[in-house]
Chain A
Amino acid sequence: MDTMDIMDNSKLTLGIQIHGADLSRWPEPLAEQARAWLRKNEGARHILAEAQAFEALLDQAPGHRPSPALRRAVAEIPLRHPPETATPRLPFFLASLLRGALSAAFVLLVGITAGWLSAGQDADTAPSQPVTILAAPSAQAAAEPSVEGAELEALMQLAFADELQAELEP
Chain B
Amino acid sequence: MQRETESELMQRVAAGDTRAYRTLSDHFLDKIVAHGARLLGDPAEAEEVAQETFLRLWQGAARWRPEARLSTWLFKVAQRLCIDRLRRRREVGPDAIDRQEAGDRPSALLMRKQLAERVSQALLALPERQRAAISLAHYEGMTNPEVAEVLEISVEAVESLLARARRSLRSSLSKYYSQE
Contacts and interface: CB of A to CB of B under 8 A. Distances in A.
- A and B found bound together: yes
Interface of A: 1, 14, 16-20, 25, 46, 49-50, 53-58, 60-67, 69-71, 73-75, 77-79, 81-83
Contact of A18 (B119, B123, B144, B170): B144
Contact of A62 (B22, B34, B179): B34
Contacts of B119: 57-58, 60-61
A70 B143 CA distance: 28
Contacts of A78: 16, 18, 21, 58
Contacts of A82: 16
A20 B159 CA distance: 10
- What class of interface size applies to chain B in its complex with A? 35 or more
- Most B Cβ at <10 Å: residue of A14, A55, A58, A82: A58
A55 B138 contact: yes
Secondary structure at the B interface, as helix, strand, loop or mixed, is helix
Interface in B165-180: 166-167, 169-170, 173, 176-179
Secondary structure at the A interface, as helix, strand, loop or mixed, is helix
A14 B167 CA distance: 10
Contact of B43 (A18, A25, A49, A64): A64
Given A17-B166, A58-B169, A77 B177 contact: no
A83 B59 CA distance: 8
B10 interface: no
Interface in B45-99: 46-47, 50-51, 54-55, 58-59
Nearest to A67: B47
A57 B123 CA distance: 12
A15 to B, nearest CB: 10
B163 A17 contact: yes
Contacts of A79: 18
Interface string B24-41: 010001100111011000
A75 B25 contact: yes
Contacts of B167: 17
